[in-house]
Structure 1
Amino acid sequence: MKRIITILILAFTLALNAQSNFEKGMQKAFKLWEDNKLNEAEQFFERIAAAEPDEWLPNYYVAQINSIKSWNENDLEVVNAQLTKAQDYLNNAMAISKDNYNILVMQAQIYTNWIALDGRTYGMKYSAKVTELYNQAYALAPVNPMVILSRADWNMGSARYFGQDTKPFCKDVEKALALFEDFKPELFHPNWGRRRAAEILESCNK
């Protein structure tokens, strides 16, 4: 009996250490990101993802960083490599966490980046998928401000492209901004979009 208790205590201690290492690693990666050391943060998330194969979050953030990096990149080969890497890591996250609205939104954003890169090539391929992904995410998390904002932002962009009125979607952006006030995600979980919601709402009111 004493041996069993000792084994249980050892297993519990190892679990706590593993959790502590994961948390320390994530905090370090976010600090690098906060300091605008995007490449270093990305590499740190990659190491965490390799060390923690059951955690979807580091894979998600590698995907998000590469998605963000593609925004201001003009070299098509570089953008292609960034979005391909983003997709690879997001696929890892999907394999770990099913029906995850954060992952669905990130997938929609990666597809949107492809469309922005070459609308003629990727518009027909991905536009309907983006709409479907946002609808799926909304069905899973109808009061999540990031989901509501991203869906509204996409709908406004689509309306603008087809020469339609974007005003009907302003109420969704307003709702998202209000929800951000009390939004408290789990530790290390995605928490972005408040500033974007404020910017869009400001343009709505002009």
Structure 2
Amino acid sequence: MTKIIVTIVLLVTTQLFSQSQYEQGMSKAFALWGEGKNTEASDLFARIASAEKNNWLPNYYVAFVNTSAAFETKDKDQMNTLLTKAQTALDVEIAQQPNNAELLVMQAMIHTAWIAYDPMTNGMKLSGKVMELYGKAEVIAPTNPRVVFGKAEFEMGSAQFFGTDTQPICAQIAKSIELFATFKPETAFHPNWGLERAKEARDACKY
């Protein structure tokens, strides 16, 4: 998750010359996140979201900041606080854009964080929901690299757990890397992360 954050911050700070108050606020929030100030970054994204009610990106990043942090902790109370904040922010945007593939991927990530925290309790309950989300996102945006890689990454975890063949999944990971090469985010703030994780997953594949 740390690599994702650094990549996002570098992309934003190198591509964007901020002009508007929105752009300045988003750039500052990314900078705080890059400095490891997760709470401050999340709070700033949330303030921007309250002012930009027709823009899904600030709440998306509230969810992203908190979900990323949740993957790094095993404290139950902290997990609950982080993922509740993430879910609350994401719910606002999914209610308005239920067919936004990036939001669906983020919802899958929130569920995955719960599964990673307590596989025995949450695995059976949430794994089907995660696959359903990726399946829906895949129909909506079949060439979105985060959709393809996220689904493959989740399937890889299940395959390794159950000892099933991972070669078809490795092929999907390789496909996602090809999609990353041609993917163009709409703006400097739109999601553009995941390539480094995909490369690491590809390198871990045993052909």
Counterpart position of 1:191: 192
Shift in Å, 1:137: 0.5
SS of equivalent to 1:72: coil
Q: Indicate conservation of the 8 Å contact 2:73/2:79, yes or no.
A: yes
* Residues 38 and 66 in structure 2, CA contact (< 8 A), matched pair in contact too: no
Partner of 1:97: 97
**Unpaired runs of 5+ in structure 1?**
1-18
The answer on whether the counterparts of 1:145 and 1:177 sit within 8 Å (CA) in structure 2 is: yes
Q: Deviations over 1:124-176 (max 9, x none)?
A: 21111101100000111111111110011011111112111212111111111
CA displacement at 1:67 relative to structure 2? 0.5
DSSP 3-state at the match of 2:176? helix
Say whether 1:204 aligns with 2:195.
no
- How far, CA to CA, are the matches of 1:26 and 1:185 in structure 2? 16
AA of the residue aligned to 1:101: A
Question: Residue type matched to 1:200 in 2?
Answer: A
Q: Which residue of 2 aligns with 1:161?
A: 161
CA distance, structure 2, for counterparts of residue 93 and residue 43 of structure 1 = 17
Provide the C-alpha distance between the structure 2 equivalents of 1:74 and 1:203, rounded to a whole number of angstroms. Answer: 25
The two structures have a TM-score, normalised by structure 1, of 0.86
Distance 1:200 1:139 in 2: 23
Do the aligned partners of 1:108 and 1:130 also contact (CA within 8 Å) in 2?
yes
- Equivalent in the alignment of 1:122: 122
Question: What SS class does the counterpart of residue 181 from structure 1 fall into?
Answer: helix
Q: Residue type of the partner of 1:204?
A: C
Q: Which has the larger radius of gyration?
A: 1
How many Å separate the matches in 2 of 1:29 and 1:170? 35
Q: CA RMSD in A?
A: 1.5
Task: Name the counterpart of 1:22.
Answer: 22
Q: Is 1:61 matched up with 2:49?
A: no
Rounded to whole Å, the distance in 1 between the matches of 2:159 and 2:49 is 38
Q: Within 2, Cα distance between the matches of 1:51 and 1:157?
A: 39
Structure-to-structure mapping, 1:74-153, within 5 angstroms: 74-153=74-153
Matches within 5 A, 1:171-186: 171-186=171-186
- Give aligned pairs, total: 188
Are 1:55 and 1:96, in contact at CA under 8 Å, matched by a contact in 2? no
Contact 2:49 2:55 in 1 (8 A): yes
Q: CA deviation at 1:32?
A: 2.2
Over residues 28-87 of structure 1, what are the superposed CA-to-partner deviations in whole Å (9 max), with x where a residue is unaligned?
212222333322211110110111122111111001111000111121111111111111
Q: Distance in 1 between matches of 2:143 and 2:36?
A: 30
In structure 2, runs of 5+ residues without a counterpart are 1-18
Q: Shift in Å at residue 205 of structure 1?
A: 4.1
Using the alignment, how far apart are the partners of 1:98 and 1:116 within structure 2? 25
CA contact (8 A) 1:62 1:89 kept: yes
- TM-score scaled by length of structure 2: 0.86
Contact kept? 2:74, 2:117, Cα under 8 Å: no
